[in-house]
């Protein structure tokens, strides 16, 4: 991987990243090579030429995670109160994925 800034196609790179992000959020398996490649992709976006794309990456990631949480919320609202114990599973799954992304600041 070259550390030099270069032109990067955001949409193409984002689609690869999104696939990996979805896998992590769903606690699916991600191959080590893929995981490492995504770090390289993130770096390439952040130092892209002629304009760094880090802010756009942040925005798209935030939108994805907010939509994911909204979907979880809808699922939780649709479950009856007596099933409260089952509601913890989506939350625990989400928290585990946050740990993978380093989003757990507590």
The per-residue pLDDT for range 42-78, each reduced to its tens digit, is 999 999 999 999 999 999 999 999 999 999 888 878 7
Return phi, psi of residue 79, to 5°: -90, 140
CATH of 10-101, one of 1.10.1660.10, 3.10.129.10, 1.20.1310.10, 1.10.1050.10: 1.20.1310.10
Query: What global pTM score does this model have?
Result: 0.75
Cβ–Cβ under 8 Å, residues 33 and 57: no
Higher pLDDT, 103 or 39: 39
- What ranges do the domains of the chain cover? 10-101
Question: In terms of Cα–Cα distance, which of 71, 53, 65 is closest to 101?
Answer: 65
What would the two tokens of residue 49 be?
């030429």
Q: What is the mean pLDDT of residues 14-29?
A: 95
């Amino acid at each position: 991987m070259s550390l030099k800034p270069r032109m990067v196609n955001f949409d193409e790179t984002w689609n690869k990243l999104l696939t990996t992000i979805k896998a992590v959020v769903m606690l699916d398996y991600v191959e080590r090579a893929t995981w490492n490649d995504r770090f390289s992709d993130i770096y390439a976006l952040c130092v892209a030429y002629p304009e760094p794309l880090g802010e756009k990456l942040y925005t798209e990631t935030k939108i994805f995670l907010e939509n994911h949480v909204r979907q979880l919320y809808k699922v939780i609202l649709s479950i009856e109160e007596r099933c409260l114990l089952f509601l913890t599973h989506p939350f625990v799954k989400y928290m585990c994925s946050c740990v993978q992304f380093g989003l757990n600041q507590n």
